[in-house]
A and B are shown apart, each in its own frame.
Chain A
Amino acid sequence: MNAHSKIDFPAAVSLRGVVRQFGDNRVIDRLDLDIAPGEFVALLGASGSGKTTLLRSLAGLDPIEGGELLAPRARAAVFQEPRLMPWKRAWKNVTLGLRVANPRERAVQALTEVGLAHRLEAYPATLSGGESQRVALARSLVREPKLLLLDEPFAALDALTRIRMHRLIIDLWQRHTPAVLLVTHDVDEAILLADRIIVLQHGRIADALQVDLARPRDNGQAGFNAIRTRLLALLGVEKDDPESIGRDHNPFLAQGYPLNAIAI
C-alpha cells in the first residue's frame, strides 16, 4: 500500500495525484482536486470518464491505488437509487446508523426540512421516486456532513420532480453549507447548481470552470448559454448536433479517441 488515504481533514476535500485502477485500466489518473468548505462542485463527464469512481473513493467505498486523498470523516452520499431499507419506515431509515440521544427528534427535523413531515411512518414501497430520494437526502443531512456526495441523484426522476429537487438541494446546501460534489450527466443541471464545474476525461480533469451566475438561477439567464455551449464543446457535443449526446454510441469514443481530438 503506497497510497495515503487520510481522513479527518478539517475542512473539505484535497486530492493529490490520486490513482484508481482496475487491473491495467487506469480509471483515475493522477488526479489533483481541491474543494473548499461549503463549495458546490459539479463533476461532468462522459460515461466511463471516472466520475462515479472518484465519488466512490471520496465516499470511502473504494480504496485508491496511489496518491493522497483527504476527505472529512463527516461525509454522506446520495446515489441514483435512494437505497432505502424497504423494511424500515421513513424515519427509521433516516436514523439508521445515527448515534445520537434523540434519533426520532432528529429524523422528524430532517424529514420536515425535505418536506416529508407527513410521511414519517411510511414504508419506502409507498413513497414516490421523488419522495424516496428526499428521504435519502434527509438521511444524509441528519449526519451533518462536511462533504455531501451526490451521484446522479436526480437522474431517475421525472422532469418536474427534478426541478423541485434542484431547488430543494440548493436550499439545503445554503442552510447547512456542506461542501458538495455532484456527479452528473446533465450539463444544465451542473450549471444550475454548481459554483464550479469540472469536466473529467479519462480520469483527468479536462477543464474546470467557475460559474459566477447569480442565484437563484434559471436556464434563460444571461450567460447561461455561453457556459452551456462551452461545456458541450468540451464534452464533444456540437450545439447543432443533438444526436451525439448519446456519447456511448459515438464510434470515435468507443475506440478510445480522446474527446478533444473530435470536438476541439
Chain B
Amino acid sequence: MTVAASPLPLLDLHAVSRTFGTVQALRDVSLRLMPGRIGLLGPNGAGKSTLLKLMMGLVPPTSGSGTVLGMPLGSWRLRQQVGFMPEADALVPGLKGVEYVGLAGELYGMARSQARRRAHEVLTYLELEDARYRKLEEYSTGMKQRIKLAQALVHDPHVLLLDEPTSGLDPAGRDAMLRLLVRLGRDHDKSFILSTHLLGDVETTCTQVVVLDKGVIRGQGAVKDLCATRNDRYRLQLQGDPTRFLEELALEHVRVVANNGRGELQVAVPEGWTTRAFFVLAENHGVAIRALTRDDESLEDMFHRLIDMK
C-alpha cells in the first residue's frame, strides 16, 4: 500500500471553520498540501489538534468542505488510509503490546490472524520485539510513544498524522523517534503531518511546513522557501581582539545584531557592502576571520516572524 507519485493532494481544504462554543478553533482555513513530510507548527491553542481531528473526521467542520487523499472529511474509508498517533497515551489497560497493536489492526478492518502477524512485524521494526508480551502499564514513556506509532502503522497507511510524537521523550529517545520518522518518509514513501510546537523536530524531519496561529494559516510551503534569504546579514567567527575591528565596522555603518563575546557575531551590512570588505578590515586590525556565512532566516526566526505578523 505504498503511495507512488499520487496525483491526489494529501489535503485540500476550502474555507473550513470550526467553532467550539464561543471559541473559534479554525477560521476559514483553505489549504492544499501534496504528499510529503509536513510539519504543522503553531503555539498552544493555534488549532493544530483541531485540524488533525478534522482530517480524521473526529470533528466535523462548522462550515466549509475538504478532502483528504481525495476522500471527503469524516469518511470511514479515509480513516483506513490514515494512521493517527494521538498526543494522549490512549492505551487500553490490561493489554500486552502485541495485543494492543493487533487490536488496532482489527479496528482498521484487518482479519484477526493478519492483524496479529502484522503486529509482530511492526513491533519488530520499531524495536519493541522484546517488550511485545509485556503489559502496556509497564512500558516506559519512550516505549509508549513507539507503540502508539506501531498502532498507527499496523495497516500500512498512506498517511500518518502525528500529534506531538516526541512529547515526554529524553534527547536520545527524541532523536531515535525523529530518525524513525525520517526513515519512514524517505525510504518507505510515507507521508506524514507532524503537529508540534518543537521547531527542531520539524527542522529535522520535514520538507514542508504549515504555520497556524489562532486558527489562521500564517504561512505554508517548503521550509527553505519560507525562510527568507537575507543578503544583508552575515555570521562571522573571529580570532583575536575584535575591539578595533568592531569600531571600524560601526564607522562603516555595519550594525552588530548579536555578539556572544567569544568571537561570534551576527551583523547587518548596508547596501552595496561586499564580503571582501570584512577581510580588508580584519587584516588592518589584526583579526583573523575563521568563518563567514550568510545569515539566512532560521526556522525559528521565520516562525516568530509569521506568528507576530498580524
A and B pair up: no
